[in-house]
Amino acid sequence: MSSDHAQPTGRPTTTRATAPTAGAGAAPHDDARAARSGDRHDAAAGRGGEAQDSRVGRHDAGLPTDVAAGAPFLELLARGAPAAAYEQPVLRARAEGRPAAWIAALEHAKFLALRVRAELEGRRRREAELSALFETAHDLAGLRDLDSVLQAIVQRARSLLGTDVAYLTLNDPARGDTYMRVTEGSVAARFQQLRLGMGEGLGGLVAQTARPYVTDDYFKDARFQHTGTIDDGVQDEGLVAILGVPLMLGRQVIGVLFAADRRARVFEREQIALLGSFAALAAAAIDSANLLTETRSALAGLERANEIIRDRSGVIERASEVHDRLAELVLRGGGVHDVAAAVSQVLAGTVDFTEAGAAPARALEASRAEGHAVRHGDDWIAAVAAGGELLGALVLRGHPGLDPVDQRTLERAAMVTSLLLLARRSAAEAEQRVRGELLDDLLDARDRDPRLLSERAARLGADLDATHVVLAARLDAPAADADEEADARRRLWSAAFHLAATRRGLAAARDGGTVLLLPLRKGDSATDLARRTARHLGTAVHEAVTVGASAPVDDLATHAGTVTAAYEEARRCLEALALLGRTGDGAAAEDFGFLGLLLAGDRDIAGFVERTVGRVVAYDERRGTDLIRTLESYFACGMSPARTKDELHVHVNTVAQRLERVGRLLGDDWQTPARALEIQLALRLHRLSSPEPR
C-alpha cells in the first residue's frame, strides 16, 4: 500500500501570497479573475480604495514610504475587502506614474496585507471548526436521540468542508455488510438505500485498513473494489471526489464518515483531520447510545424479575422470615445447636445436629447427592456439606408429614449450618495465620514499630510488655512416610496454636517444628513451662514432643532481635535434649549447669565486641587502616613490637605509630593484664563473627 492512500494530494488550504517584483503588478489568478468580473461590490471597493489613495497622496509627503504605502491596505483589512481589491492601489499608482520606490513599497505592503488576510481567514475557519466540534460534543453530552446527533454531525461536516454531500455508514455484524445510516445533501433514492458488502468500495478500503482514504475521481480510482451496486448508486448521486474516515470503537471499525463533491476536488490535510474529529464524536455517540440501550434492557429485565418475585412473594414469605431469623442468630454468634433449636420452633418438631458418622449413612448420602432433605422413616435428614465434604446432618425427628415449604426451610437451615461451620473453621485458620505472621515478624525482626507490634498483639489478646518464654517444639518419633510425617506436623501445629490461643500467646510453624511464645506466670519458671508444654502437646498429638525453652525475655516489641536470640537459645536446648536422649521432655538452659551457660550464650556478644574494640574497628572501616590486624599480631607475638614488625612486614616505627593510635582509641590502660585479656577475647570473637576470613 503506497503512502498516498492515507494522505490526499492537493494544495494546502492556507493561501500563500508571493511578493511580486517591482513593476510586475499581477494579482493572483483568482483575484484577477474576480477583478475582471465587474462585480459591483469590488468596483465600489476599488472606488473607495481610489479615494483613500487620493487622500493618502495628499498627505503622504511627510510620511515614510513604507507607512504611507501600507495605509490603504490597512483600511482594506479593516473592512474585510475581497482579495481582488488589494490590487487596486498598485494599479492606480502605476497609472499615476508613481516612482518605482513607491510602487515597490505598495507591492510589499500588498504582499504583507494578503498574508495577514489569509491568516485571519484561517483563524476564522479554525474557530468555526472548533465551535462546530464543541456544539457536537455538547449534543453528545445531552444525548437523547442518536439519529439527531448523527444527523447534526453529518450536517456540520458538510457545511465546514464545503462539500455537496456528506453521509455516514454503519457496519451490520448480523448481516455481514454495511448500510447507509445518515445522508445530507443527497438527492438519489438508490444512493440513500445502499447496502454494501464488507471490503467493497472506498468505504471497504477504509474499514479494512482503519485509515482515512481520499479519491479525486472515484470512477478512475483502481485502489478499491468496484461493484455494480455501489457504482450505480454513486453515479446516480453524481459524486466524483470522495473522502472517507473510519469510525473507531477501540481498535474496531464500526462504520465510515464520508464527505463528497460532484466535481473533481483535492481534500486538504486540515479537512481530513476535521472529518476525523467528527468521526470520533460520531463513534462516541454510537457507543453512548449502545450503553443506554443495554442499560434500558437491563432495567426492563430487572422489572420483569421484580414482577416474578412479587408474584411468588406469598409463597416464600415464610421461608424468608426463617432465613432472617437464622441470619440474625448467626450474626449474634450462635452455634450449630442454636440453629437447630431455632428451626425446631419454626417447624414445631425436634431438630438435632449430628456428626456425619452418627446419621443414617444411606439417607445422608442421598441427601448430599440430591441437595435436598430426604425422608428416613418418620424422620427427615438434611446433609450439612461443603463441596465434597460431609460436615454432619440436621435431623427432624417424628415429623413424617412435611410440606414443601417446611422441607425447604430444613434444607436452608442445613445450608446455614454448613456456612457457619466453614466460617468457624475459616476464622480459626485466619487467626492461626495472623498469630503466626506476628510471631514471624518478631522472629525475623520485621516491622520494628513497637506501637504497631503491640497493637497487633493486643488484637490477638497477647501482651508483648509481659515476660515471655520462647519454646521450640519438635516431634522426634520417625514417620513411616512423607504423608504421615506431614500429617503429624499439621497436628502438632494445630495443637500448638490452640495452646497459644488459650494461653494468650503466639505460635508459628518453623524449621520442621513449631515455635511458641507464651507468657510466664508469676512463680513459674522456664523449665516448668517447657515440661508442661511437652506433656500438653504430646497428649494432643498422641506422640512424644520434645520442647526446649529460652530464658525469660522482656520488652519484645522494643528491642529488635530479642525473640530471635531467644528462639536460637530454645533450639540449642532442644538439640541438647535430643543429644542426651531426653526425647518427649522439656527443659531450659538453666537445667544444664555450665553447659547451660554455653547454650544460653551472652546474647550480647556483638555488644561486648563493640564496647571493647568497637572504636578500633570503626576507625579501620572509616580510614581504611589495619589497626585490628596489628593488634592481633601484637598479642600473637607476645606483645613484642620487634616480632610484630616481622609478622606484618613493616618497619618497627610503623608498628609503634599504630599502637600509639590504638592507645588513643582504647585508653592508656589498654595493655594492663585485665584490659589486654578483654581485648584479646573481643578480637577472637570479632574474628569468629566476621563474614569472611581476615
CA distances from 316 to 177, 309, 321, 410, 541 (A): 50, 9, 9, 14, 48
Identify the three-state secondary structure at position 192.
helix
CA distances from 382 to 26, 229, 419 (A): 104, 70, 14
Report the pLDDT value the prediction gives residue 208, as an integer from 0 to 100. Answer: 81
Query: Which residues pair with residue 39 across a beta bridge?
Result: none
Amino acid at 184: E
Check: CB of residue 417 under 8 Å from CB of residue 395. Answer: no
pLDDT averaged over the chain?
A: 77
> Who wins on pLDDT, 666 or 450?
666
Reported as a pLDDT band with limits 50, 70 and 90, residue 304 is confident
For 598-608, the pLDDT digits (tens) are: 444 444 556 66
Q: Over pLDDT 90: what percentage of the chain?
A: 17
Report the pLDDT value the prediction gives residue 547, as an integer from 0 to 100. Answer: 93
Check: CB of residue 554 under 8 Å from CB of residue 463. Answer: no
For 559-591, the pLDDT digits (tens) are: 767 888 888 888 888 887 887 778 889 988 777
CA atoms of 132 and 289, how far apart (whole Å): 21
Query: What are the helix (H) ranges across 332-354?
Result: 336-347
DSSP string for residues in 221-287: --SS---HHHHHHHHHHT--EEEEEEEEETTEEEEEEEEEESS-----HHHHHHHHHHHHHHHHHHH
- Strand ranges inside 308-407, DSSP E: 350-354, 374-376, 379-386, 389-397
For 435-488, the pLDDT digits (tens) are: 767 777 777 765 567 788 788 878 877 888 889 999 999 987 776 677 777 878
Report the pLDDT value the prediction gives residue 63, as an integer from 0 to 100. Answer: 47
Neighbours of 265 (CB within 10 A): 23
CA distances from 84 to 44, 49, 76, 503, 627 (A): 12, 12, 11, 103, 97
Report the pLDDT value the prediction gives residue 429, as an integer from 0 to 100. Answer: 61
- Range of weakest confidence among 23-32, 90-99, 216-225, 681-690: 23-32
For 18-29, the pLDDT digits (tens) are: 333 333 333 333
The C-alpha cell of 593 is what?
Answer: 549447669
CA atoms of 660 and 639, how far apart (whole Å): 14
Check: CB of residue 605 under 8 Å from CB of residue 682. Answer: no
Mean pLDDT of 110-134: 72
Half-sphere exposure of 494 (CA within 13 A, CB side): 13
Amino acid at 443: L
Report the pLDDT value the prediction gives residue 18, as an integer from 0 to 100. Answer: 36
CA atoms of 348 and 359, how far apart (whole Å): 21
> Who wins on pLDDT, 491 or 130?
491
> Who wins on pLDDT, 410 or 240?
240
Report the pLDDT value the prediction gives residue 592, as an integer from 0 to 100. Answer: 63
Mean pLDDT of 325-335: 70
Check: CB of residue 167 under 8 Å from CB of residue 243. Answer: no
Reported as a pLDDT band with limits 50, 70 and 90, residue 310 is low
Query: What is the length of the chain?
Result: 694
DSSP single-letter state for residue 85:
G
Neighbours of 440 (CB within 10 A): 15
DSSP string for residues in 626-661: -HHHHHHHHHHTTT-HHHHHHHHTS-HHHHHHHHHH
Report the pLDDT value the prediction gives residue 60, as an integer from 0 to 100. Answer: 47
Query: What are the helix (H) ranges across 592-639?
Result: 594-600, 605-623, 627-636
For 512-521, the pLDDT digits (tens) are: 889 998 999 8
Whole-model pTM: value is 0.34
pLDDT over 70 (residue 106): yes
